[in-house]
Structure 1
Amino acid sequence: MKVYFETYGCALNKGDTYSMMSLLRERNHEIVETLEGADVVVINTCAVRMETEEKMKKRIRELSKTGKKLVIAGCLTGAQPGLVSSLSPSSSMIGPQSISDIVKVVESNERVISLDSKTPSILPRVFDGLISVIPIEDGCAGNCNFCITKLARRNLRSYPLRNIVETVKRMISQGAKEIELTGQDTAVYGLDMGGKVTLPDVVKEVASLEGDFMIRVGMMTPEMAMRHLDSILEAWENPKVYKFFHIPVQSGNDKVLREMNRKYTVDEFRAIVKEIRKKFRLVNITTDIIVGHPGEDDSAFEDTLNLMKELRFERIHIAMYSIRPNTRSSMLAQVPGPIKKERLKRAVSLYEELSREVHKEYLGRQMRVLALERGKDDTIIGRTINYIPVILSDAVLGNWYDVKIVDSSFFDLRGEIV
């Protein structure tokens, strides 16, 4: 059959899509680029925020009217199967921890619902461009009150180290220049296998492979990063590892962190950042912040703004809290909508101001940059050793360049090849 995929959400979802594509290709199904040319449509959904859910609902309704066989996969299916079924009663459904059943679902003449398969999935054997997304684990060890993803990915499952290394070898041989090791919380890797093998072990093993490539490690929660911080910093010393850390703080106020059921304090988060920056002179610490979570008063919000000013993150993903069904935070007293919107506006404005200041510090520097993706207007997007995007002209994908930084914006840098 000819199968078309639409993927929404995080890098882990992208990795799941590549795994499903790999399984289907091994059964001689064809992955097609357009909806019109497909016999089967697979939509891999995201449910992390209310507006994302509304977008998914709209798209599911649209795809249901095409007359093609529809498979609804991903976190919306895992977290709210009843809702998904009501949107498209005849469609097959596959949860994010059941992607190993994709062949059965696509090949069946009947409607199939698979929400929690016991069959382990394979790692991806395909990728697009020069960036290969490799899930190393699925699920988390936390229980955050605002999170719906934990309802979709209920079980912590780490992929065996041997499988990860063999998969990365295959991707490098196929031309991958960036290996993105991803997961719901990469720092919990191995916890379900007795904790004898951890995230730093994975990074060290992958970095020891031959080839010209870089490693980017996905999000890790502060409480889990603290458990292995010394060995994480040691593993990141390898020149093949981007000096990049995605560690979500979510709030700069301890009371709000308790309401969120986050298992660290603001001071503990500060200590993590301090240790990372002490170890690496040039580093990118990216974080997430939720504005307007229940329990956030004016003072707590100011604490978050002050933390942003103090730690001067290289990148911040800022989101306004939105109620997610069947979560504890949805049952707490809510911050009024207009106040949340005003706080979001202030936080984003401050972030843009701070980011412009941080990026201006790169002006005039000469940096080593790896060209990875196509940008707008025939430009190429490269990455510095700390994973800051640099816009280049007249670059060849896959090559390294010595670049002089000549301009900056709040989002990226502009470089001239030396």
Structure 2
Amino acid sequence: MKVYFETYGCTLNKGDTLTMMSLLRERKHQLTNDISSADVIVINTCTVRMETEEKMKKRIKELVSTGKKLVVAGCLAGAEPALVTSLAPSASLIGPQSLESVVKAVEGDSRVVEIGSKPPTLLPKVHEGLIAVIPIADGCAGHCNFCITKLARRILRSYSMRAIKEAVQESVRRGAKEIELTGQDTAAYGLDLGGLVGLPDLVREISSVEGDFMIRVGMMTPDLAMRRLDEIIEAWSHPKVYKFFHIPVQSGNDRVLRLMGRKYTVEEFKALVKEIRSRIPQSNITTDVIVGHPGEDEDAFKDTLDLMRELKFERIHIAMYSLRPNTRSSMMPQVPGDVKRRRLKEAVSLYEELSLEVHKKYVGREMRVLALERGKGESVLARTENYIPVVLDMVELGRWYDVKIIDSSFFDLRGMII
């Protein structure tokens, strides 16, 4: 059959799509980018925020109207199967921890509903472009009160180190220049394997793979990163590893962190960031912030702004709290919508101001960058060794360049080939 995929959400979702594609290719099905020629449509959904869910609902209705066989996969299918069924009664439902069931859903004559947790499937064998997305684990070890993803990815399931290394070797052999190790919480890797291996062990093993490529490690929670910080810093010191750390703080107030179900204090987070920066001075610390979570008053919000000013993160993903059904946070007294919107606007404005200040310090420096993606027009997006984006003009993808930084914005840098 010809199968068309649409993917929404995080990098882990993209990895899940690659896994499903691999399974179908092994069964000799044909993947197509043309929805009109497809026999089956698979939509891999996200439900992390309310507006995202609304977008998913609208798109599912549109796909139902095509009259084609439909498979709804991903977090919306896993977390809210009744909702999906009401939108698409005949569609098959595949949860993010039942990916192998996509074969049965595509090939079978009857509706398939598989939303529970099963042993992890083999890693994807589909390689696309210069950036290879390699899932290392599915699920997490946390219980954040605002998170609906936990309802879809209920348990932590780590892939074997051997399988991950083989996937990396195959990707590098086929031309990948960046390996993105992704997971809901990469720092949780190996906890379900008896604690015999962990994220630092995996990164060291991947660093030993021959070839010219860089490793980017996805989000890790502060509390689990703290447990093996010395080993993490040692592993990140390898020249093949981007000096990039995505560590979400979510709030700068301890009371709000407790209401969120986070397992660290603000002072512990500050110590973590300062230790990384002291031992890897060029490190890029990226974080996430939620404004307007239940229990956040004006003083708590001010604490978050103060933390942003103090730590001057290279990048911040700022989100307004979104009520998600069946989560603990949804049952707490809510912050009014207009207050949340005002706080979001204020936090984003401060972030842009601080990020511009951070990026201005790069102007005039000479740096080594790896060209990876097409930009607007004839521009190319490259990455520094600490993963800051640099816009270049008319260069070849997949190559390293020595550049001089000539300008900056809050979002990226602009370079000139030396």
| Cα distance in 1 for residues equivalent to 2:242 and 2:279 | 14
Aligned partner of 1:316 in structure 2 is 316
Aligned partner of 2:351 in structure 1 is 351
Report the alpha carbon displacement of residue 394 of structure 1 after superposing the two structures with TM: 1.8
Aligned partner of 1:302 in structure 2 is 302
Cα distance per residue 1:229-252 (max 9 Å; x no partner): 110000000000000000000000
Structure 1: give runs of 5+ residues left out of the alignment. none
Q: Does the residue aligned with 2:37 lie in a helix, a strand or coil?
A: coil
Structure 2: give runs of 5+ residues left out of the alignment. none
Residue 220 in structure 1 maps to residue 214 in structure 2: no
Report the alpha carbon displacement of residue 117 of structure 1 after superposing the two structures with TM: 4.8
Residue 329 in structure 1 maps to residue 317 in structure 2: no
| Cα distance in 1 for residues equivalent to 2:160 and 2:192 | 11
| Cα distance in 2 for residues equivalent to 1:285 and 1:182 | 17
| Contact residue 4 and residue 33 of structure 1 kept, 8 A | yes
Q: Amino acid of the residue matched to residue 244 of structure 1?
A: F
| Contact residue 100 and residue 117 of structure 1 kept, 8 A | no
Report the alpha carbon displacement of residue 129 of structure 1 after superposing the two structures with TM: 1.5
Aligned partner of 1:417 in structure 2 is 417
Aligned partner of 2:7 in structure 1 is 7
| Cα distance in 2 for residues equivalent to 1:164 and 1:118 | 18
Aligned partner of 1:76 in structure 2 is 76
| Cα distance in 2 for residues equivalent to 1:118 and 1:386 | 36
Cα distance per residue 1:314-358 (max 9 Å; x no partner): 000000001000000000011011000000000000000011111
Q: Does the residue aligned with 1:288 lie in a helix, a strand or coil?
A: strand
CA RMSD of aligned residues (A): 0.7
| Cα distance in 2 for residues equivalent to 1:243 and 1:117 | 34
| Cα distance in 1 for residues equivalent to 2:151 and 2:140 | 11
| Cα distance in 2 for residues equivalent to 1:118 and 1:260 | 28
| Cα distance in 2 for residues equivalent to 1:333 and 1:254 | 18
| Cα distance in 2 for residues equivalent to 1:336 and 1:126 | 45
Report the alpha carbon displacement of residue 103 of structure 1 after superposing the two structures with TM: 1.0
Aligned partner of 1:203 in structure 2 is 203
| Cα distance in 2 for residues equivalent to 1:331 and 1:120 | 33
Report the alpha carbon displacement of residue 35 of structure 1 after superposing the two structures with TM: 1.2
| Contact residue 217 and residue 244 of structure 2 kept, 8 A | yes
Cα distance per residue 1:75-106 (max 9 Å; x no partner): 00110001011110010110000001111111
- Among the aligned pairs, what percent are the same residue? 71
Q: Amino acid of the residue matched to residue 176 of structure 1?
A: A
Cα distance per residue 1:342-387 (max 9 Å; x no partner): 0000000000001111111100111000000111111110000000
Q: Amino acid of the residue matched to residue 356 of structure 1?
A: L
| Cα distance in 2 for residues equivalent to 1:221 and 1:158 | 16
- TM-score, scaled relative to structure 1: 0.99
Alignment of 1:1-80 (within 5 A): 1-80=1-80
Residue 267 in structure 1 maps to residue 258 in structure 2: no
Aligned partner of 1:292 in structure 2 is 292
| Contact residue 100 and residue 119 of structure 1 kept, 8 A | no
Aligned partner of 2:177 in structure 1 is 177
Aligned partner of 2:376 in structure 1 is 376
Report the alpha carbon displacement of residue 119 of structure 1 after superposing the two structures with TM: 4.2
Q: Which runs of 4+ in 1 moved over 3 A?
A: none
Q: Amino acid of the residue matched to residue 120 of structure 1?
A: P
Q: Does the residue aligned with 1:226 lie in a helix, a strand or coil?
A: helix
Report the alpha carbon displacement of residue 118 of structure 1 after superposing the two structures with TM: 2.4
Aligned partner of 1:238 in structure 2 is 238
| Contact residue 157 and residue 192 of structure 2 kept, 8 A | yes
- TM-score, scaled relative to structure 2: 0.99
Q: Amino acid of the residue matched to residue 225 of structure 2?
A: A
Alignment of 1:127-206 (within 5 A): 127-206=127-206
| Cα distance in 1 for residues equivalent to 2:141 and 2:112 | 30
| Cα distance in 1 for residues equivalent to 2:36 and 2:404 | 45
Q: Amino acid of the residue matched to residue 160 of structure 1?
A: S
When structure 1 is superposed on structure 2, of 22-31 and 341-350 the one drifting more is 22-31
Residue 342 in structure 1 maps to residue 306 in structure 2: no
| Cα distance in 2 for residues equivalent to 1:340 and 1:127 | 41
When structure 1 is superposed on structure 2, of 241-250 and 111-120 the one drifting more is 111-120
Q: Does the residue aligned with 1:132 lie in a helix, a strand or coil?
A: strand
Q: Does the residue aligned with 1:6 lie in a helix, a strand or coil?
A: strand
Report the alpha carbon displacement of residue 127 of structure 1 after superposing the two structures with TM: 2.5
